[in-house]
Amino acid sequence: MKTKLFTLLFTILALGACKKEINLEVRKIHETDKTAQWNIDIHRSVFSFPEKEVEESCVKFNDEITGLINGIHAAFIEQCKETVTGLDSMGYKQAAPFELYIQDSVFLADKNYISLLMSSYEMLGGANGITHFYGVNYDMKNRRFLNKKDILNYDKAQEINSLLKENLKNPDKCYTFEAPTVENFTALTFTLHTVDFTYAKYILGPGACGPVTISIPRSKMHGMLKFSNAPTR
């Protein structure tokens, strides 16, 4: 299990390797919840800034992330209890604590936007756990969260799909299931220089290939982005 967890953490760090464009103050928080039935480990980012208006916008973003994490946490505990009850009814004992690991990678954090990729890894028995990805994108000035249609111009879907195929790093020819498109990605994030499409395991290829993030240079996406004041430098 330790080897699998190390591999997972390395993969998540690799997916967020293009980050570092951060001007807001970022504090890392570590929380744990451990019982005989579960082991929950949470690493999350909290944003702040000295200017009042910017700080108020950060608070709204932080509260949304707190709600997302609390929802994942609560749903996992409910699953744990149901699974333990099911095992007990069949006369089996839980072999080891179930596991939940939550962490994030900050792609962009400045006075204009926050773009963050959150991942949750859940192990409820069996040979393999499940990793979920959440792209959280936020317009700081307008204090609103952006969905994929706020960011991408879907009238240009064909052109974006071509760029996705062009920028997919696939030297071992592992991703053979589907072509990457604007319809089948799992999470969307962005930096000042790229738009980043994350695909979970099993979408583009077998589970052994793992998840993948395709980064498209924004300099190649003229007319393909919709969100206001999109930085292009």
Report the C-alpha gap between 182 and 141 in whole angstroms: 26
Phi, psi angle pair for 39, to nearest 5°? -130, 110
Report the C-alpha gap between 228 and 233 in whole angstroms: 15
Residues 140 and 189 in one domain: no
Residue type, 54: V
Reduced to 3 states (helix: H, G, I; strand: E, B; else coil), residue 85 is helix
Average pLDDT over residues 47-68: 96
pLDDT > 70? residue 4 = no
Question: For the chain, what is the domain count?
Answer: 2
pLDDT of residue 230: 52
Residue pair 201/211 in contact (Cβ under 8 Å)? The answer is yes
Q: What is the per-residue pLDDT across 87-120, written as a single tens digit (0 to 9) for each?
A: 999 999 898 999 999 999 999 999 999 999 999 9
Residues 103 and 5 in one domain: yes
Residues 13 and 106 in one domain: yes
User: What mean pLDDT value characterizes the chain?
Assistant: 89
Report the C-alpha gap between 159 and 179 in whole angstroms: 14
Residue finishing a domain among 96, 114, 146:
146
CATH (domain of 71)? 3.30.565.40
Domain that holds residue 152: 148-225
Q: What is the per-residue pLDDT across 170-193, written as a single tens digit (0 to 9) for each?
A: 888 899 999 999 999 999 999 999
pLDDT of residue 50: 92
Residues 35 and 140 in one domain: yes
DSSP H helices in the chain: 2-15, 52-89, 148-151, 157-167
Residue with tokens 């695909």: 199
Nearest to 152 by CA among 192, 189, 105: 189
Percent of the chain residues past pLDDT 90, beyond the cut: 81
pLDDT band at 3 (very low <50, low <70, confident <90, very high): very low
Residues 138 and 169 in one domain: no
